[in-house]
Copies of this chain bind each other. A is one copy, B any other.
Amino acid sequence: MDFTKTKNELSQLIGEKKVILKNDGTMDESLFNSYGTDRTKVYPPNYQVLVFPESTEDVAATIAYAYQNEIAVVPSGGRTGYAGGAVAKNGEIVISLSKMNQVVDFDPFLGTLHVQAGMITKNLHKEAEERGFYFPVDFAATGSSHIGGNIATNAGGVRVVHYGLIRDWVLGLTVVNGKGEVYRFNGEILKNNTGYDLKHLFIGSEGTLGIITEAVVKLTKPPKDIRVIFLAVPEYKNILEIFRETHNFDLPLLAFEFLTDYCLDKVKEHLGVPDPFQAPSKYYVLMEFEVTGETDEEKLYSILESITEKELITDGSIAQNSRQNETFWKYREGISESLSLAYTVHKNDISLPLRNMEAFLDEMSSLLNQKYQGFHIALFGHIGDGNLHLNIVKPKDLTDADFFSQCKQVDPEMFTLIQKFKGSISAEHGIGLLKKDYLNFSRSQSEIDTMRAIKLAFDPKGILNPGKVL
């Protein structure tokens, strides 16, 4: 393919400074490559043309051109994904939304914010805050992830147990389909029962149905004050008991996270932080509550008292201020980084009905102990949502190739177990390239066939992020 021709023709359409050819002297090669990959690092990027649209019209013109010339395109957001959903490895045109990062409009009555898709999530948090509101979708990567990418992957994070997934916060979407046609779904209204809600198809579609260029998100009022409780829990089944007790408690439960002793050790090693408790424990739970005044602070003590009396924990501590909240959160939010910087890991991100979790964990432990002799398993996650991040850690004496090949053999057996317990093989991370071969463990053949039919309706030539999801 003549990529110089592609670059020149696209430049004609949307403006020269918005189109970059690899090694044309305007951008360092490794920076260029970084726009065509994500955090998986499994698939080396391989592409030549990078586009920085500045408007929905630019995106539409680019895709209309790609449609006419049958060239594939890959959307590029903050590239913080873990499933290879934003990888360009076959000479696609990469469309980075990063220059589309502005607020378009704001409605102070309901608190809705209309933004371009390339706005960094953390900046959206700030824009909401400056207007007296709060955008509750939050997770470790918000400093670089884009709101458009969050929507395209239906991001979750640490406060899903209270606020839900990003799907619950999207009112309107502007989307360009695989022919370069623009849809403007719903706008900013709360209620609109006029036919099929097509917007929801795009949420979580990982760029395979269209490229999200703008979004109207709902905001809410900020939590008054926040207090974290950190617990040492001796047995898994106690975690569920504690969840049941606190989920139905008076105070809003904003987060309910857990980690194992192995995860805590890795965070301590990596961040150099001290032991949070005097005696070690097999599990740790981090709970976050919204509190408004002194009466609420007293309630925190009554929760801790109640679960202590029931002998569900061996130790527990209530943060006394926001700095201590952050200290406690480090033990949870530092896990991914501590593991990925010091070790090679194979990530799984799964979800189960809470009531099946214990039986699943029993069977899974047997399976993993049998199959992965001598491997460490780092288990943590949003347990209040039934969501486990299950990381297999490569032993030092194994090559990467051998390690990943072993993982690839065990994965299907684990997915079979997940299917048996009615769970999902991808709770948050999506399918992308990484889980594509296993989609049938979570979706029936008729669902997959229907997805293909729907893909065809939006993207008749199959040029949108080809090879991902389906």
A434 to chain B, nearest CB (A): 12
B residues within 8 A CB of A382?
A: 191
* Any B CB within 8 A of the CB of A148: no
Distance, CA A271 to CA B9, complexed state (A): 72
> Count of chain A residues with Cβ under 8 Å from any Cβ of B?
80
Secondary structure class of chain A's binding surface, majority of residues:
loop
Distance, CA A209 to CA B224, complexed state (A): 44
Query: So how many copies of this chain end up in the complex?
Result: 2
A199 to chain B, nearest CB (A): 8
* Any B CB within 8 A of the CB of A352: yes
Given that A109-B354, A351-B190, A353-B187 are contacting pairs, would A196 and B165 also be in contact in the complex, using a CB cutoff of 8 Å? no
- Do residues B451 and A195 form an inter-chain contact, with CB atoms below 8 A? yes
Instruction: Jot down 13 A-B pairs with beta carbons below 8 A, ordered by A.
Output: A165-B191, A189-B352, A191-B387, A192-B424, A193-B430, A195-B443, A197-B200, A197-B201, A198-B447, A198-B451, A201-B201, A221-B248, A453-B457
- Do residues B168 and A168 form an inter-chain contact, with CB atoms below 8 A? yes
- Do residues A431 and B193 form an inter-chain contact, with CB atoms below 8 A? yes
Contact with B along A405-432 (1 / 0, CB 8 A): 0000000000000000011111111110
* Any B CB within 8 A of the CB of A156: yes
In-complex Cβ contact of A450 among B205, B431, B448, B457 (8 A): B457
B residues within 8 A CB of A89?
A: none
Distance, CA A112 to CA B385, complexed state (A): 13
In-complex Cβ contact of A194 among B244, B247, B292, B442 (8 A): B442
B residues within 8 A CB of A429?
A: 193
Instruction: List 20 additional A-B contacts (Cβ < 8 Å) besides A109-B247, A190-B351, A193-B428.
Output: A108-B355, A110-B386, A156-B191, A160-B191, A164-B168, A183-B450, A188-B353, A189-B353, A189-B422, A191-B428, A193-B204, A193-B430, A194-B430, A195-B431, A195-B443, A196-B201, A196-B451, A198-B454, A201-B201, A450-B457
Contact with B along A99-128 (1 / 0, CB 8 A): 000000001111010000000000000000
- Do residues B353 and A181 form an inter-chain contact, with CB atoms below 8 A? no
- Do residues B355 and A189 form an inter-chain contact, with CB atoms below 8 A? no
B residues within 8 A CB of A193?
A: 153-154, 204, 424, 426-431
Contact with B along A379-393 (1 / 0, CB 8 A): 000100111000000
Distance, CA A145 to CA B418, complexed state (A): 36
Contact with B along A316-359 (1 / 0, CB 8 A): 00000000000000000000000000000000000111110000
A466 to chain B, nearest CB (A): 15
* Any B CB within 8 A of the CB of A243: yes
B residues within 8 A CB of A205?
A: 195-196
- Do residues A188 and B351 form an inter-chain contact, with CB atoms below 8 A? no
B residues within 8 A CB of A243?
A: 109
B residues within 8 A CB of A435?
A: 194
Given that A109-B354, A446-B181 are contacting pairs, would A194 and B439 also be in contact in the complex, using a CB cutoff of 8 Å? yes
Distance, CA A353 to CA B443, complexed state (A): 37
- Do residues B194 and A386 form an inter-chain contact, with CB atoms below 8 A? no
B residues within 8 A CB of A372?
A: none
* Any B CB within 8 A of the CB of A366: no
* Any B CB within 8 A of the CB of A250: yes
Contacts of A426-470 to chain B: CB distance below 8 A: 426-431, 435, 439, 442-444, 446-448, 450-451, 453-454, 457-458, 469-470
* Any B CB within 8 A of the CB of A370: no
Given that A108-B244, A386-B191, A458-B450 are contacting pairs, would A250 and B292 also be in contact in the complex, using a CB cutoff of 8 Å? yes
* Any B CB within 8 A of the CB of A203: yes
B residues within 8 A CB of A187?
A: 353, 422
* Any B CB within 8 A of the CB of A226: no
B residues within 8 A CB of A189?
A: 351-353, 386, 422-424, 427
Given that A165-B191, A190-B160, A446-B181 are contacting pairs, would A354 and B196 also be in contact in the complex, using a CB cutoff of 8 Å? no
A152 to chain B, nearest CB (A): 10
